[in-house]
Amino acid sequence: MSTGTTKLDVVVSDVVPVNELVTRFHFRRRDGELLPTFSGGAHVVVEMRDGDRTRLNPYSLMGSPLDTREYTISVRRDDVGRGGSLFMHRSVKPGLEMVISYPVNLFSLDLRAKKHLMLAGGIGITPFMAQTAQLAGEGGNFELHYTCRTASLGTYADVLRERYDRRIRLYHDDRDERIDLDRLLSTQPLGTHLYVCGPAGMINWVRDRAAALGWPSEAVHFEHFAAPQPGLPFDVTLAISGKTIRVDEQQSLLEAIEAAGVDPPYLCRGGVCGQCETNVISYDGKFIHNDHWLSEEDHRSGCKIMPCVSRFEGRSLVLER
Amino acid sequence: MGITFRKETFRDDFTFRNSPEHIRRFPFPFHEDAYMYAVNIEPHVVGPRGSVLENLIDVDEHYVAEMQDRALVLAEDPLRCQSLPHMTLAGWDLLELLMEQQALGYPEHFTLTRDGDRWRWINRPLGIDDTFTFGDTSTLPYGPMEYITRQSQGDFCILDQRDGNLWMDAGMVTTQADWSLDFDIGMNFFEWHAPVPLAHEKGIFTRALKFLTNIQQGKPARRLNWTMTINPRLDTSPENYHKWGPDRTTVTPENVGDKVHLRVELQSFWRLPRSNGIVFPIRCYLIKMDELVTQPKWARRLHRVIRDLPEELATYKGLTRYRPTLVEWLSKLDDGSATSPGFGPD
């Protein structure tokens, strides 16, 4: 099958600053038709053409799945990242024509749940914006616990409170408000499903406590996108295509492979879906694995790498691409 | 120009036939002179005009008769259509898909008009003109899946995706090759495929599941499967085995051409947008040997495939009892000459 998903030609219809770190972007189809329907928790991959560099970053759709006239995403500015969010904040203006992927959902609601218990941290709120809208439309039972640094950085906290009132609980770090997680997890009705999206530390904490308190793993869902991290440049030989390429400091290995005209399959570009898994033919150096897909055994073996998020330091690396 | 729908039966007097045009468009499943399992999945894209792939959801001359046969099966056994409580949203997804595709491919027979949630569906072959509210089950005479699959050829399984697996949580299954929705409902991908021989050892199901859970919206996929059926009977279910099982003992050298049918399933796989489930339509095509051998290439090739089929597969497909009679009959049509590559007739 061909690479990735079907593409959508869109135009930026609005750019709305939400607070000092987060900006919201609205997309409509260039041909004026409706966008594809999606399910709460889905993301799209946004292609950012920044001079001669193309970055592809995944962002959760945060509008209501019931309204497909436009898609909305929220982007948190990351001043020390690889520049994707800075590009979005600085260069993307209303009227700009962009290309995004069809929606893909790797963080789906379990529709069997008697109750949906949602835990969000920071910008991890975005998939829950769509999921709560979907559930509210169907009369679904949900409760959202949202931790943010300060009230002014509580992106969409006001919107959620206004829409869902007491179903939304807020916790502010600067006021020392903390979720009483053990109590929360111990007092849920049978048939509750737990969803968590936020920083890696928060996801690990919630998963660990849920496991310790006897939650079945099938009832615990998490969105664990790792953004590709910058790092030292390195050289790679692509054995099948017979090319040697350099991965720049701010570039992911996958982006460098694509820039050389080789198109491995991908979906999430965040180290979770497994599509771009690549065999290592030989290496002399050290892998920096950042994915959540390969097993620890795979990581130790030196036989596989997820080029969307992982890097390499050393003398030589030969991949089966 | 519309389709001329045949008046015919798939039971009792078995008046089912293919017109000459439908013989030529039959989805013959063998691209070479031998058959073995493979993960033969390809993108489900529109194919040549005049083929069963001309539209992604195919409607043919058997449409009206098949829908009448489905209604008879359901009247006798309502459990052929089941949907677990969490699958209603997926049922609406399927209703949208089938209405859109049938209206797109056959505007002279089907019309869909939408005004927000207010939808009007006209199905001329079945004399239906209904207006309803999308998402509100109280505005349809059946649940959304049952409503639309009483108007769509082929069986439909709706699979819920969770825990890295697919779960058979809803379906309309009345034209099946000896498997039971009522038995399989709620099972996961490995559980419902457990009876298939050889393929587990080859790791086929692990790879197939990985592929299917990654099917993307807007990018459906398809594969062909096949078996054989005695008499053109759509409902060869385990529930009704007592009605069709004994037919296998009735094949004689004189009646092979009329009684023995190649049964081909065009299976497709689609991501559903609202529920994130997968729908798996299994569209059954039947052709009797007398019709099939009007294409000499197909006659030669089918002879070689059936003659050389591994014993386990012949047993699984239920061919054992009449295989020698069939091979003998087909051998007279095989002069040993080469067959051209590809599926189509010469």
Secondary structure (3-state) at A309: coil
**Interface check A295 vs B, CB under 8 A:** no
Rg (CA), chain B: 20
Q: Name the minimum distance, in Å, from the CA of A242 to any CA of chain B.
A: 28
A1, A102, A134 ranked by CB distance to B218: nearest? A102
Closest CA to B274 of B92, B131, B104, B150: B92
- Please answer yes or no on whether B216 and A104 come within 8 Å at the CB atom: yes
- Provide the CA A66 distance to its chain's centre, in angstroms: 21
pLDDT in tens, A106-147: 999 999 999 999 999 999 999 999 999 999 988 889 999 999
Q: Of B178 and A116, which is predicted with more confidence?
A: A116
Mind spelling out the 3-state secondary structure of B269-305?
EEECCCCCCEEEEEEEEEEEHHHHCCCHHHHHHHHHH
Q: Report d(CA A215, CA A209) in Å as an integer.
A: 9
Q: Give the distance, in angstroms, between the CA of residue B169 and the centroid of all CA atoms in the same chain.
A: 19
CATH, range A234-319: 3.10.20.30
Do the Cβ atoms of A61 and A44 come closer than 8 Å?
A: yes
Q: What is the pLDDT of residues A232-285, one digit of tens each?
A: 999 999 999 999 999 998 889 999 999 999 989 888 888 878 889 999 999 999
Taking the Cβ of residue B217 and every Cβ of chain A, the question of whether any pair is shorter than 8 Å is answered with yes
Token pair, residue B81, equals 């259509």
Task: Give residues with Cβ within 8 angstroms of B29, minimum separation 6.
Answer: B224, B225, B226, B264, B343
Query: By C-alpha distance, which of A56, A34, A38 is closest to A47?
Result: A56
In this complex, is the C-beta atom of A60 within 8 Å of any C-beta atom belonging to chain B?
no
In terms of CA atoms, which chain B residue is nearest residue A8?
B218
Please tell me which residue, B172 or B221, carries the higher pLDDT value. Answer: B172
CB within 8 Å: B216 and A5:
yes
HSE-up of residue A24 (Cα within 13 Å, Cβ side): 17
What is the distance in angstroms between the Cα of A112 and the nearest Cα belonging to chain B? 5
Residue whose token pair is 């059926």: B229
Identify whether the C-beta of residue A256 lies closer than 8 Å to the C-beta of residue A235: no
Give the tens place of pLDDT for each residue, A66-84.
889 999 999 999 988 888 8
Which residue of chain B is at minimal alpha-carbon distance from A40? B274
Q: What letter does residue B341 receive in the DSSP assignment?
A: S
For residue range B271-324, list pLDDT tens digits in order: 999 999 999 999 999 999 999 999 999 999 999 999 999 998 899 899 999 999
Cβ distance of A105 and B89 shorter than 8 Å? no
Q: How far are the Cα atoms of B24, B35, B251, B297, B325 from residue B334, in angstroms, in the given order?
A: 19, 17, 20, 9, 15
What's the CA gap between A283 and B116, in Å, rounded? Answer: 57
- Give which of A192, A28, A195 is closest to A106, Cα–Cα: A195
User: What does the pLDDT read at residue A55?
Assistant: 87
Q: Closest chain B residue to A140 measured between Cα atoms?
A: B86
Radius of gyration (Cα) for chain A, nearest Å? Answer: 20
CA distance B34 to B235: 28
Contact B98, B154 (CB under 8 A): no
pLDDT band at A2 (very low <50, low <70, confident <90, very high): very low
Tell me how far apart the alpha carbons of residues A84 and A88 are, in angstroms, rounded to a whole number: 6
A96 phi and psi angles, rounded to 5 deg: -70, 135
Looking at the complex, does the CB of residue A105 fall below 8 Å from at least one CB of chain B?
yes
Looking at the complex, does the CB of residue B214 fall below 8 Å from at least one CB of chain A? yes
pLDDT score of B110 more than 60: yes
Residues of A in contact with B91 (CB under 8 A): none
Does B273 contact A111 at a Cβ distance shorter than 8 Å? Answer: no
Tell me the one-letter amino acid at A86: L
Q: Is there a shared CATH topology between the A7-105 domain and the A115-223 domain?
A: no
With an 8 Å Cβ cutoff, are B89 and A111 in contact? yes
User: By CB neighbour count within 10 A (0-12 exposed, 13-18 middle, 19+ buried), where does A51 fall?
Assistant: exposed
Taking the CA atoms of residue B68, residue B72, residue B78 and residue B80 in that order, the dihedral angle to the nearest 10 degrees is -70
DSSP state of A226: P
Of B3, B10, B92, B40, which Cα lies nearest the Cα of B272? B92
Phi and psi torsions of A272, nearest 5°: -120, -25
The closest CB to that of A36, out of B86, B161, B217, belongs to B217
Alpha-carbon gap: B273 to the closest alpha carbon of chain A (Å): 5
Check if A37 contacts B (Cβ < 8 Å). Answer: yes
Instruction: Kindly tell me if the per-residue pLDDT of A63 is higher than 60.
Output: yes
Q: Which of chain B's residues have a Cβ under 8 Å away from the Cβ of A39?
A: 273-276
- Chain B residue closest to A37 (CA)? B273
Given CB atoms, is B137 within the 8 Å cutoff of chain A? no
| B40 interface with A at CB cutoff 8 Å | no
Question: Which of B216, B270, B271 to substitute to test the interface with A, most A CBs within 10 Å?
Answer: B216
Residues 6+ apart with CB under 8 A from A166: none
Query: Of A160-174, A250-264, B56-70, which range is least confident?
Result: A250-264
Written as one letter, the residue type at A173 is D
Question: Is the minimum CB–CB distance between B188 and chain A shorter than 8 Å?
Answer: no
Helix axes B296-308, B323-331, angle to 10 degrees: 140
Distance CA A282, CA A315 (A): 11
Residue extents of the structural domains in chain A: 7-105, 115-223, 234-319
In angstroms, the CA B156 to CA B221 distance is 15
Lowest mean pLDDT among A64-68, A206-210, B264-268: A64-68
Chain B touched by A192 (CB under 8 Å): no
Distance CA A240, CA A226 (A): 28
Which CATH fold topology does A7-105 show? Elongation Factor Tu (Ef-tu); domain 3 (2.40.30)
Cβ–Cβ contact B86 with A under 8 A: yes
Is the pLDDT confidence value at A94 over 50? Answer: yes
Q: How far apart are CA A179 and CA A119, in angstroms?
A: 10
Name the residue with tokens 């879906």: A273
Q: Which helix (H) or strand (E) holds A15?
A: strand A7-17
Chain B nearest-CA distance from A249, in A, is: 31
Distance from CA of A246 to the nearest CA of B (A): 30
Structure confidence by residue, pLDDT tens digits, B114-171: 998 999 999 999 999 999 999 999 999 999 999 999 999 999 999 999 998 999 999 9
Q: How far is A273 from chain B (nearest CA, A)?
A: 8
CB atoms under 10 Å from CB of B109, counted, come to: 18
Instruction: Round to whole Å and give the CA distance between A78 and B287.
Output: 63
DSSP string, B89-137: HHHHHHHHHHHHHHHHH-TTTEEEEEETTEEEEEETTTTEEEEEETT-G
Q: Would you give the DSSP letter of residue B339?
A: -
Give the other-Cβ count within 10 Å of B199's Cβ: 17
Interface test with A, best of B137, B162, B206, B272 (most A CBs within 10 A): B162
Q: What is the pLDDT of residues A147-162, one digit of tens each?
A: 999 999 999 999 999 9
Burial status of residue A165 (CB atoms within 10 A of its CB: 0-12, 13-18, 19 or more): exposed
Q: Do B73 and B80 touch, CB atoms closer than 8 A?
A: yes
Query: In chain A, which among 76-95 make CB contacts under 8 A with chain B?
Result: none
Measured in degrees and rounded to the nearest 5, phi and psi for residue B288 equal -80, 160
Q: Which structure tokens are listed for B157?
A: 């399984």
Cα B236 → chain centroid: 12
Question: In whole numbers, what is the pLDDT of chain A averaged over residues?
Answer: 92
Q: Which residues of A touch B117 (CB under 8 A)?
A: none
pLDDT at B34: 86
Q: Choosing from B118, B223, B304, B323, which is the catalytic residue?
A: B223
**What pLDDT sits at residue A4?**
54
Binary contact (A39, B276; C-beta < 8 A): yes
Q: What does the alpha-carbon distance between residue B254 and residue B310 come to, in Å, rounded to a whole number?
A: 26
Tell whether B206 lies on the interface with A, counting CB pairs under 8 A: no
CATH number of the domain at A115-223, please? Answer: 3.40.50.80
Cβ–Cβ gap B86/A112 under 8 Å:
yes
What pLDDT is attached to residue A3?
46
> By the CB < 8 Å criterion, does B219 face chain A?
yes
Confidence of residue A224 (pLDDT cuts 50, 70, 90): confident
Does pLDDT of A164 surpass 80? yes
Q: Contact A109/A40 with Cβ under 8 angstroms?
A: yes
Name the pLDDT band for A225 (thresholds 50, 70, 90).
low
pLDDT of A1 reads 31
Counting residues of chain A whose pLDDT is more than 90, the rounded percentage is 80
Residue B275, min C-alpha distance to chain A (Å): 6
Using the predicted structure, report yes or no on whether residue A12 has a pLDDT greater than 60. yes
Tokens 């099982």 correspond to B245
Domain spans, chain B: 40-238+266-285
Nearest CA in chain B to A217: B163
Label the pairing between strands A278-288 and A311-319.
Answer: antiparallel
Tell me which chain B residues have a C-beta less than 8 angstroms from the C-beta of A134. 274
Active site residue B283: no
